[in-house]
Amino acid sequence: MNAPLSHAMPHAMPAADTPPAADVPDAALDALDSLIIDTLQGGFPLLPRPYAAVADSIGLTEAVLLKRLQRLLAGRVLTRFGPMYQIERMGGAFVLAALAVPEARFDAVAAQVNALPAVAHNYRREHRFNMWFVLATATPGGIADAIIDIETATGLRVYDFPKLREYYVGMRFTVGGQAPVGTLPDSSEGNHEVELDERDRQLIRATQGGLPLLAQPYRHLGDALAMPEDEVCRRLGRMLQNGVIRRIGAVPNHYAIGYAANGMAVFDVDDAQIDALGERIGGLPYVSHCYRRLRRLPQWPYSLFAMCHGSSRDEVMQQVSAIRQLLGAACRGHEVLFSTRMLKKSGLRI
């Protein structure tokens, strides 16, 4: 199981450390773009003119910041800008799932999977299980329905890997693909459900695609929802505090800002030791997500998942080697599934 996977499907893979053309921006980033991306990944203020406040803090004008954000979103450097919701806190559910798609059908199956609103993210990865996606639904029962829809449409079995424990989510990506500086503010400790009223849900639906790129975004939202601006900010602030919103800010396309290698490292770890070790792995600076997930034996023996990011495959493999060393005898095997194409990244929709 530990053989290098970069040779598993050589006819279909791009050159090592070269992101697919569809996943990189049309133009190079300048120093101002980099400053904006590095600054705006979290902590966006709940003020009447939030863009002006951020712009002033980094020496820009509000108009310049808004214009740059519009360009970064249009150019696919940012995949979205706004609140990042924790669907489990809202009474919903999400799950990581995979398909083993025949090569001749890959693009057709990707279109079928991506058409489902429950599919929030979808990536191509180097493995027999070559399509990996996140399902997010407003109710736990929606996950089973979404799986049935995909299996019916594609004729392929969906392998789902429910989260058993979350160790860490929230690395800050820095432009250039270098080691991250610090972590993102995250209010998602625990997964207990938070009581929301219909006005909260209206606000979630209005912002799940992103914040308006207008000087007064919260007033604009309030006008659309017949809700005072201060109530919009108060409700968003409460959802930040109780973890319904993980953070408010930019989500970079990691390929576009220099992270040419994205490896999902998976490990078969002894159940008696996995929680203590998972906490340690989640604390590593190059790990953006770390979970304990359900095994699917005999096809999938792995229980610890850690997303590693770097400017090259060699760098990611060094990171994985360090993790493997840290796990020691508790780890019975591992693999690294490199991402080669971002198929969809829209975030949750309710």
Q: What DSSP string describes 148-190?
A: HHHHHHH----EEE-EEEEEEE-BPP-TTS----SB------S
What's the pLDDT at 1? Answer: 36
- DSSP single-letter state for residue 218: H
Pair 150, 160: CB distance under 8 Å: no
54, 107, 154, 184, 278 from 192: Cα distances, Å: 32, 38, 34, 21, 20
Tokens (6 digits) for 37: 């991306």
**Most distant CA pair in the chain: distance in Å?**
59
Query: How far is residue 27's CA from residue 56's CA, in Å, rounded to a whole number?
Result: 26
Question: Cα 29 to the chain's mean position, in Å?
Answer: 22
Pair 133, 140: CB distance under 8 Å: no
Tokens (6 digits) for 340: 């080669």
Q: Residue 174: which residues within 8 A CB-CB, separation 6 or more?
A: 38, 180, 181, 257
pTM over 0.85: no
Query: How far is residue 171's CA from residue 192's CA, in Å, rounded to a whole number?
Result: 22
What's the pLDDT at 305? Answer: 98
What's the pLDDT at 189? Answer: 45
Q: At what angle do helices 217-225 and 229-242 cross, to 10 degrees?
A: 100
Preceding peptide of 298 cis, ω within 30°: yes
Count other C-beta atoms under 10 Å from residue 245's C-beta.
Answer: 24
What's the pLDDT at 318? Answer: 97
Name the one residue in this structure whose structure tokens are 């893979």.
13
Query: How far is residue 29's CA from residue 49's CA, in Å, rounded to a whole number?
Result: 26
What's the pLDDT at 188? Answer: 44
Query: How far is residue 205's CA from residue 336's CA, in Å, rounded to a whole number?
Result: 36
Pair 162, 283: CB distance under 8 Å: no
What pLDDT tens digit does each residue of the chain (350 aa) get? 333 333 233 333 344 455 554 455 555 789 999 999 999 999 999 999 999 999 999 999 999 999 999 999 999 999 899 999 998 888 889 999 999 999 999 999 999 999 999 999 999 999 999 999 999 998 999 999 999 999 999 999 999 999 999 999 876 667 765 645 444 444 444 457 899 999 999 999 999 999 999 999 999 999 999 999 999 999 999 999 999 999 999 989 888 888 889 899 999 999 999 999 999 999 998 899 999 999 999 999 999 999 999 889 999 999 999 999 999 999 999 999 999 998 998 766 66
What's the pLDDT at 349? Answer: 67
Q: Is the dihedral of CA 319, 189, 131, 331 positive or negative?
A: positive
- DSSP single-letter state for residue 85: E
